[in-house]
Structure 1
């Protein structure tokens, strides 16, 4: 089979099985455990069945991160129609290095084949070269030609910038132009005051996400890129609780209001969110602030902060399974199916 024939066969793959779609799950083939060139964190390695990041145990079975059969079995066990896989955040190419493009290409190719062979049970969000706009455009154009890789996953910060300027703004601009979905996942950046009690995750991740959301709503990103479909995981972190404070600052301070003529609440409703809040009242707060049609199921599989049945909490809080499926299909630019007869 020629490369062109292979590309055509992958483009013709089935898009997504019926049922709730988990938009927030992770996968990395074992041959890429070394992480991108220049990575600021040590490589992944399996010790027995447990996955480690350098010497740090991750409380994850190595096969849960990398074995396609296990991922498929656990997707079915969770009662999901389909699962959307993206790289774990430590695999984001956040450092400019000449070898990044090769790593990104190997991941995207492996992800495409995995999703193609899953017969509609798995979809993907690819990696992108964050520091090279020319390479990023080429990578994202290749993704746009795929039936099974529906967009890109990116960090909330690159250096000191987020989505209102710098590399992430350029990637967002290309995603909007090419009609690709974008998922934003925090990186658990270390700070000395968060070295105990897993606070780099428990506080750091929600704070990173809120910082990126602020760059979008106060920076007018969706105002200038109205076709951008950008989803923030973990229920938007602590951003829903901060919107009132942002609104007051936007009204009272010239610097806070300089980026947009729209209120933070208006900008917030342009964004998409997963429902992984671990708490009913927190999910209801998000639901009251966000566009309810843009709330999506997310599991954070296979991390220890993930959940086995991500649809259970939102359904118990009044967010219907069919609504979440329809929202995920719109986010991923898949056909929105009205009934089983449409499948």
Structure 2
């Protein structure tokens, strides 16, 4: 069965979770999410999200029409990643993937999907990735930047990257907002923790030699790559100065960074300018982070005002997803 997206800018970073899965994967570190008078809470923490915005596909489409988004790639919110081995984890992952697949298949080109995998079970994650690859419009997998202290250059995450690349699936890396005593106030777990988690994953990928071992990998880091663009010069200096920093990689970080995809969610003109200066051609993709309070609520307008074009936002998003560009003849082998 073939698959095609609607014309227009492709938003690669948006979230969806059906109400029946609000309990989250067994062993979820923050507990489940609940609907309190139409607003979502993660445990006792308010998420500043209307419940319908997370789970109602009609609400998602209305937001897309308002913002001029042609198509949106939906993935689980990061607190729904399956990190443990508790009984029922595989069933939760497969229920999410099945539900998202129905949204995508029924969406008439409005949506594509990035599924989840059971990260602590290699056999299960492999099986789940292979199942995703057989479903039209399920074009990739969303992953956290860290699992139990290890990142993209270690198992289990590197194994998932290898399998995804072998299957032609794209990868989206999204931070989890991990708790830390030093970041417990002022929402710093998000404001500082999220960018640092993402930068840690990018550094692990670049310095750990993952690109060399998995050359077919198409991987996107959200929130403009976190603080990685600002740190690239420091990493590259260390790569030249210290044998231990360059021991696992064959090219300096600034060169490897140009092969990565990053999204547009920077919230700042200067940060966006730095991102586009450091990123490779065609590697900055439209992102919104819908429906969170830290989302860019007008992502197309902001990206165009900062120098990208609507054509780029469509063409480059499709390239990341492994789909034909706008106006290209569709490949009958494209899922």
Deviations 1:62-89 (A, max 9, x none): 0100111111211222111001100000
**Cα offset for 1:339?**
7.6
Match of 1:131 in 2: 120
Match of 2:179 in 1: 190
SS state at 1:210 partner: helix
**Cα offset for 1:13?**
6.1
1:52 is aligned, of 41, 44, 47, to 41
Q: How many residues align?
A: 331
Conserved 8 A contact 1:155-1:184: yes
1:331 is aligned, of 311, 316, 320, to 320
Conserved 8 A contact 2:74-2:111: yes
2:31 is aligned, of 42, 45, 48, to 42
Divergent runs of 4+, >2 A: 12-15
Distance 1:98 1:231 in 2: 31
Distance 1:107 1:195 in 2: 30
Match of 1:15 in 2: 4
With structure 1 as the length reference, what TM-score do the two structures score? 0.94
**Cα offset for 1:134?**
1.3
Distance 1:213 1:63 in 2: 33
1:160 is aligned, of 149, 153, 172, to 149
2:86 is aligned, of 89, 97, 103, to 97
Distance 2:322 2:86 in 1: 32
**Cα offset for 1:195?**
1.2
Distance 2:219 2:328 in 1: 27
Match of 1:67 in 2: 56
Distance 1:37 1:202 in 2: 27
1:225 is aligned, of 205, 214, 217, to 214
Alignment of 1:235-254 (within 5 A): 235-254=224-243
2:189 is aligned, of 195, 200, 204, to 200
**Cα offset for 1:14?**
4.0
Deviations 1:31-89 (A, max 9, x none): 00000011111110000111011121110000100111111211222111001100000
SS state at 2:14 partner: strand
2:100 aligned with 1:111, yes or no? yes
With structure 2 as the length reference, what TM-score do the two structures score? 0.96
Deviations 1:217-246 (A, max 9, x none): 111111211100010000000000001100
2:195 aligned with 1:216, yes or no? no
Distance 1:70 1:117 in 2: 15
Alignment of 1:250-261 (within 5 A): 250-261=239-250
Match of 1:6 in 2: none
Deviations 1:122-175 (A, max 9, x none): 111000111111111111111111221111001000011111111100100101
Match of 1:310 in 2: 299
Match of 2:332 in 1: none
SS state at 1:311 partner: helix
Q: Which residues of structure 1 form unaligned runs of 5+?
A: 1-11
Deviations 1:236-276 (A, max 9, x none): 00000001100111111121111112000111111110011
Conserved 8 A contact 2:115-2:138: yes
Match of 2:65 in 1: 76
Conserved 8 A contact 1:280-1:313: no
Distance 1:171 1:316 in 2: 36
What is the Cα-based RMSD across aligned positions, in Å? 1.5
Distance 1:283 1:228 in 2: 24
Greater mean alpha carbon deviation, residues 237-246 or residues 133-142: 133-142
